[in-house]
Each structure stands twice: as C-alpha cells, then as structure tokens.
Structure 1
Amino acid sequence: MNNISIKCLKSEQIESGACHGQFVINSLQPGQGITIGNQLRRVLLGDLGGVAISAVRIAGITHEFSTIPGIREDVLEILLNLKGVVLKSQTKNVQFGRLKIQGPSVITADLIQLPSGLEIVNPNHYIATISTSNILEIEFKFEYGTGYRLASQTFSEEDENYLQLDTIFMPVQKVDFKIENVYDTANNISERLFLDIWTNGSLSPTEALESAAQIIIDLFVLLLNNKNTNESPQADSKNQSISIEPYTNIAIEELQLSVRAYNCLKKAQINTVGDLLQYSPEKLQELKNFGRKSADEVFSTLKNKLGIILK
C-alpha cells in the first residue's frame, strides 16, 4: 500500500476542444481497484461543476417557437446549437454576454462578447447563419452548476423575458476504468487500475481527476470530524431521498437517436433517461414499431454516452 502511485499514460486533445486522458494507479491491494474506480467515476460524472449558457434573450422574440426574419435557423435550432458552446470560467457568479451581428454572416461562438474571466473552449462552434442584411441581437446568461438541469426547473420573475435552455454543466463526458492483476516473483497479487477520462475541454483530464480526488478526501474528512448533532434520522433520510443520479433528468434528445427510435420513445411518453431506465430490454422491445435494431441502438448509445448498461 505504501508503494501506491499514479501515472498519466496519455493526454490528448480531440475534436472541438474535447480532451482525453488515461491514467494508471499501481500497487493496489486486491479489491481496492473496483472500490476506487467506482468512486472516482461517480464523482467525475456527477459532482464536478462547470459553466454553461442557461438562458438567452433574443431581440424581438417572445417564445422558442418563433422564426427570425433573415435567419436560416429557427429559434429552437439556435437554442440547440447554443447548448454545444463549451465555456471555461474563473468565477462561479452569474454572468452575462452579448452578440450583435449584421448579416449576411455565419455566426460562430467566437463572436459572442464575453465578460472578463470567461473563455470559450470551442470558438468555431456553429450557431446560425444570417442570409440577409438583418441584425441578430442576443443576450446570454451564464451560470455555474453541477449535473444537468431542465429548463422547466428554473422559473423566476427576473427570467421571464429569457428563453430557458436545458443546461449541461458536467465537464466530464465519459469515464471508463479497468482492473488488471499483477503477480510479483513471490506470486503475491496486487492490482492496477486503468482510468480513461473524456472532458469537454473546460478542464483537462488531470484537473478533473485532481478535483474528484479532493472531493472524495473532503467527504471522508467530514466523516472523520463529524460529531453527534440533534438532527433526527428522519431528516437525514429525507435529504438522502432527494439526491438522484446525475443522468436521470437528461432529455432523450441529448442521446441523438435515429428518427425511428426517437419517435417510438416519445409516443410511449419516454421523455428522459430516467423514464427510459424504467424499461427492461424485453419491455422496451414490446413498444409499437420498436424493433431489435432500435433497441440495440438505444443500448449502445446509453453505454457509450453515459456508461449505462441496461440489465
């Protein structure tokens, strides 16, 4: 245990500013690999925070089903494109940005005027195209958070003029790990843990791993320093029941399924990943017009995008 070490095997930047890193943790005792791997994976996917566009205000537009004269995309398409803008921030405060462009022009993320301390990771990300001499003016609201937040979960009088977005704060997109047994000359067994981390580029895999490790350390320090309080067990159980997996509120639109599979799920009132997880593979294939090919697509997408394997 005293010889435990961690090493970065690979660190690379992939398309659109996203990053991938591979790490190995050596000299673990048998059984520790699965414990550490599971804990790190859950924290990396669920507890790390990030900044994202949470709402926009478009000049002359009152609802998301509008069209803008001279703009190739409708408002819904623009909102969907804005969800792909990846941001890096030095503060957790709510901030605002603007975009004002006169066409004809192709609008990309780098044209957004940002406040100090905020940076766009993928500046070439496409937003919209102005095909005439019209002016497009948008005000952006940037917020810090963790996990995934539906637009329906944010209502306030201050935001009544804004169009809300389903907001993805998670900087870590995917985490995989595997464990290998290592035998020494005396035939003693130890384990080594291989950890692969993919991020959206707002922080590096190394930074993500360090932050996750610190969160776990802080948690156990609190447990060690915890003293008896007057809080009742009922209150504790209530707080525990509120916590949910970070992916349950993710809309199925985020899975980017084929039109056939998507339509079948929507007709069955399956609107989120949480709804989808209520179905077994057998029950899923009983849906009308939902065949084996569509089922395989859903299983593969859940595994590759979210690391979820349906039993």
Structure 2
Amino acid sequence: MLKNETSTSTQVIQWKCLESKTEGKRLHYGRFVVSPFRRGQASTVGIAMRRALLQEIGGTSITRAKFCGVMHEYSTITGLQETIHDVLVNLKEIVLRSDSNDIREAFSSVTGPKEVTAGDTSLPPRVEAIDNSQYIATITQPISPDIELKIERDCGYRIENFTRCGDGQFSIDAVFMPVRNVNYSIHLFGNGRATQEISFIEIWTNGSPTPHEALSKASEKLIDLSTPFSRVTCEDVSLLKNEEDFSDSMKSSSLRLQFGDANKLEGKLLKNMFIDQLELPARAFNCLKRAEIYTIADLLNCSREDLSKIRNFGRKSVDQVSKALWDHFAKELPSEKLGINQ
C-alpha cells in the first residue's frame, strides 16, 4: 500500500493508495485517500486534480497509416477480411506506452492466413503495446499486406476523420487520453471548529500509465502551472491622470481589441475546451462522445433539438448539459447552430 505525506503550514496532508487492481490489460483501477483538509480545501484540490488527470496527462497513439495501392478508406484488399476503414478503426484503439515525445514509425508485415494483432507490429524502441492481443485484421489468403504506421505523443483529442493524405496514407482520429475516468468524493469528520475534510479519489486508466503514475504526473502538472505565480513581482504602474489620457491610450494599437478579434479568440478557446470540464453524468458524457461531440465548440454547434436526436439522450440529459454549460461557461445552447467549427 502506497503512502506519502506533505506538510502545509500546520497541516500534514497524507495520502494512501487504498486499492489497486487490474481489471483487464487495458483497464486499471486505483482508489486513493487524501486528508486532512480544512473546510473547502478538498473541493479545490479535487476539481483541479480531476481536470489535470483528464486533460493534462499525455498519451501515445497511432496517428497515420499507409497502405500500398489503396485509393480511399472504403477500399478492400483481396485476401484481407476488413475494409481499410475497419482496419483504421482498429488501429485507433491500439493502446501504446512510450516515454518519448518524438514522432516514431512502426511497421506491420504479416503473411496470411493469420489473425493480425498489436503484437505483430514492429514497434520502435521505447514504445510498447499494452495489450498484444488487440485485434487489427484477419488475412484470409497467403498475402502480406504491409502497413506503415506513424506514432505520436500528445494530449486530448486530434480529430482527423481518416483523412486521406495521398500515396495510400490516412490520418487517424487519435485520442491521447490514457485516463478514462476520475471520480472524487468529500467527507467531513470531527466536530465544530475541528471539522476537517477527507477526499477519496478513484482513477481508471487504459494501462499505459497506472493510476498511481497518472496521479503523480497530474500533481507535477499542477505544480508546474502554479509555480509562475510564486515568482510574481509587483511594479508601480502610473495611473492615467484624466479622461483625455485614457482616450489617447485607447487609441494605441497595443490596447485596441476589436469585437471580431475577441469572437475569433473565444472560438479558438472553445475548440480547445473539452466536454470533460462540464463534469456531466457518465450517461450524458458517453452519449456525447459517441455522437463525436468532444469540445465545448462542438456542443455549441448543437441546439436542444439536435441533442434530443442523439440516441439514448433524453430530455433530462439535455437539461443537464444546458445547466452545466451555464454553470461552467455562462453559455446557453443555441436556438440554431452557431457554426463555430465551420
């Protein structure tokens, strides 16, 4: 059982790993307890840690595949059971582990008849497949369909929609999110002024980092984000003496911000904010992902009527999304599509 402690002024915050188990090669679970916190602190830490785990932890994925003599994603190769599109979908699901940020190349060359899995791929040094049994395709005839692969490490999503790049190359819609889910709960103990908080954190990963490794990396990310504020210095700023000075300063190009530029900036920000930040119930969150709604910009391109057409997405889920949008971003679902991603 892992245990550690950190002193903060008069507090000695301790954490333990209460439970750690492997539910499958691509599903690892860990449950941790952190305490004691003063009133309100556990929520601050829990929210920040959850977001860091879901958004700041990088992953490694296959981002491009090249097939010889293939024209488009729905092409078929004689002797290969799947279409190129099906193979690309299977390659997207391969879970890889790597500590390198370099772009790497891999190669798959198997002679059939044979069922091709992740273990049949020749991976570069410092890259490994978490589950060698992950299915890729079935070769039904004595042929050797060569596949060249591009491997990258990043954070979040990269939406490519299997774009054809030429010469039989296809970009793959990659997911660089090894942390599958995070839950935290807060409980009170003690009485009166001595009341303190204890927080339980549950983490599920795809196995490329363990939950303990993910927690450690998320903590490092939060420290890195906070460190610059500890070095902030204050400088005297001359106040504008009168309205004329203020008017002149507003004419300066360095302070001019057009509404059009502000709208463009907001659009870019929304494209990089993922729906994880809404902290939706699992049912609503999973339905949105299946509908390929990954970012706040994607969501704001949908009206309430559009969302209600999503399979298994009822009125209650629509109301939950609407409330979360307002609570977190002061945004409302549009009466018609906004075209943010267009």
CA gap 1:148/1:298 in 2 versus in 1, 3 angstroms = farther
Considering only CA atoms, is the larger Rg found in Structure 1 or Structure 2?
2
Cα deviation, residue 16, structure 1: 3.3
1:283 Cα deviation from its structure 2 partner: 6.6
Give 1:296 deviation, angstroms. Answer: 4.5
Partner residue, 1:295: 313
| Residue 273 of structure 2, aligned match among 221, 245, 250 | 245
User: TM-score w.r.t. structure 1 length?
Assistant: 0.78
How far did residue 284 of structure 1 move?
A: 3.3
Choose the corresponding residue for 1:102, options 103, 107, 111.
Answer: 111
Structure 1 residue 183 corresponds to structure 2 residue 204: no
Q: Which aligned pairs between 1:33-182 and structure 2 lie closer than 5 A?
A: 33-151=42-160, 161-182=168-189
- How far apart, in 1, do the equivalents of 2:306 and 2:163 lie? 33
**Does the CA contact (< 8 Å) of 1:14 and 1:20 recur in 2?**
yes
Residues 224 and 295 of structure 1: CA distance in aligned 2, closer, same or farther (over 3 Å): same
Q: Taking CA–CA contacts closer than 8 Å with sequence separation of 6 or more, which of the two structures ends up with the larger relative contact order?
A: 1
In 2, the alpha carbon distance for the partners of 1:215 and 1:228 equals 25
1:19 aligns with 28
SS at match of 1:173: strand
For structure 1, the 5+ residue unaligned runs are 249-254, 263-269
Aligned length: 280
Counterpart Cα distance in 2 of 1:165 and 1:205: 27
Question: Residue 222 and residue 59 in structure 1: after superposition, are their counterparts in 2 closer, same or farther (change >3 A)?
Answer: same
Q: Secondary structure at the match of 1:135?
A: coil
2:243 corresponds to which residue? none
Q: Which amino acid aligns with 1:124?
A: S
Partners of 2:88 and 2:162 within 8 A in 1: no
Question: CA separation in 1, counterparts of 2:119 and 2:66?
Answer: 18
CA positional deviation for 1:272: 2.5
**What's the CA shift for 1:256?**
7.8
Kept in 2: contact 1:281–1:310 (CA 8 A): no
Which stretches in structure 2 are left out of the alignment for 5+ residues?
Answer: 1-9, 236-253, 277-284, 327-342
Distance 2:66 2:29 in 1: 34
Q: 1:284 aligns to what?
A: 307
Q: Deviations over 1:11-36 (max 9, x none)?
A: 11122332111111111011111111
Match of 2:221 in 1: 215
| TM-score relative to the length of structure 2 | 0.71
Cα deviation for residue 79 of structure 1 reads 0.6
| SS of structure 2 residue aligned to 1:12 | strand
Tell me, in whole angstroms, the C-alpha distance in 2 between the residues paired with 1:59 and 1:183. 68
The question of whether the paired residues in 2 share the 8 Å contact of 1:280 and 1:310 is answered with no
